[in-house]
Chain A
Amino acid sequence: MKEEFDINSLPKHHGYQVPEDYFDKLPLRIMQKTAYAGPVAQPQAAWFWQLKTAFAGLGLALVFAASFLITQYTDQTLSTQEAMAQVSQKEIYQYLLNQEDLQTADLAEVTAVKPPQSLEFLDVRTEDVSEIVTQEMLEEQMETTPNQ
């Protein structure tokens, strides 16, 4: 026959043990700790600190809100395009002329530089251009009449 399990048949004592005189010494150890634990919390003081913290938080939130609104209405910072629009073409040329590594290819990408102004921009003498053109024409003639 199957025996019915009865929880109450088990011991009612847990069986753990403590060192000798443990409970005689424990109150003194606890009292020593409470002496260093600081004063007992006063409800009025607790309310005061809670109120103080709440006001501090509110003040901080107001400062953030005010600074946000001020920057929203007074922000006059120009965008890059607006700033570039205020620079004159002459100043752009001057800036580009001062760039030592400037190549002809770079010039092609500068929309501000118009074709008629290219020579001026490159600082090339007219005599040099005429000499190169003449030389190219002579070379072309030599190529077309090789037997002469």
Chain B
Amino acid sequence: MEDHEILAKFQNPDSRNLAFNQLVRKYQQKVYWHIRKMVVDHDDADDLTQEVFVKIWTKLETFRQDAQLYTWIYRIATNECLNFLNAKKKRFFLPIHDVAAELAEKLDNTDTLSGDEIQLKLQKALVRLPDKQRLVFNMKYFDELKYEEISEILGTSVGALKASYHIAVKKIEEFLKGD
């Protein structure tokens, strides 16, 4: 179902729940994986995914249809991730390296990753990146979004995003060579 159809159904109180259910089914995996790649832990990603959709439910009425629905949803999910990671650092007074170490430790848990060794190495390299650089890399590399789309989601210029992605790739290369 197209986004505009879901939105039109959502405006009608009689079909609101049905429309929202369709929206959840359409976007749940994108939202979950976007969050999971950032927070690593499944339980954290599960909680955040539910919170994101509750926010979408309460704010969808005010959604301006001049923007794309999926970029709006991505933006909410991104903000939730960044807030979660920042709160974690503040709560435990952790510097960025300690958060990276904690996330890397979770990656070693056999339940977390099903992939091969190179996937584990790549994820270990990624958790060492600053949050925003990691976001850019994930959206560009795994989600294959265009820079223009990422720019709309993060509110950052395309030039800055290209530079950020380039730096992230260099850091990953260094990590993989040195590992």
- A15-B123, A26-B28, A26-B49 as given contacts; A7 in contact with B169, CB under 8 Å: yes
Chain B residues with CB under 8 Å of chain A are 16-17, 20-21, 24-25, 28-29, 32-33, 36-37, 40, 42, 46, 49-50, 53-54, 57-62, 111-116, 118-120, 122-123, 141-142, 169, 172-173, 176-177
The answer on a CB contact under 8 Å between A15 and B24 is: no
The answer on a CB contact under 8 Å between B119 and A15 is: yes
Closest to B177 in A: A5
A residues 22-67 touching B (CB-CB < 8 Å): 22-23, 26-27, 29-31, 33-34, 37-38, 40-43, 46
- A15-B120, A40-B60 as given contacts; A34 in contact with B53, CB under 8 Å: yes
Q: Point out the residues of chain B lying under 8 angstroms from A22, CB to CB.
A: 46
Q: Point out the residues of chain B lying under 8 angstroms from A30, CB to CB.
A: 24, 28, 49-50, 53-54
The answer on a CB contact under 8 Å between A17 and B111 is: yes
A38 to B58: give the CA distance in the assembly, Å.
Answer: 8
The answer on a CB contact under 8 Å between A15 and B113 is: yes
Q: 12 interchain pairs (CB within 8 A)?
A: A5-B176, A7-B173, A11-B115, A13-B119, A15-B123, A16-B37, A23-B29, A23-B32, A30-B54, A37-B54, A43-B61, A46-B62
B149 to chain A, nearest CB (A): 18
B57 to chain A, nearest CB (A): 4
Chain A residues with CB under 8 Å of chain B are 5, 7, 10-19, 22-23, 26-27, 29-31, 33-34, 37-38, 40-43, 46
B97 to chain A, nearest CB (A): 22
The answer on a CB contact under 8 Å between A37 and B57 is: yes
The answer on a CB contact under 8 Å between A11 and B122 is: yes
The answer on a CB contact under 8 Å between B24 and A16 is: no
A60 to chain B, nearest CB (A): 28
A40 to chain B, nearest CB (A): 5
- A27-B24, A33-B54 as given contacts; A16 in contact with B36, CB under 8 Å: yes
The answer on a CB contact under 8 Å between A27 and B25 is: yes
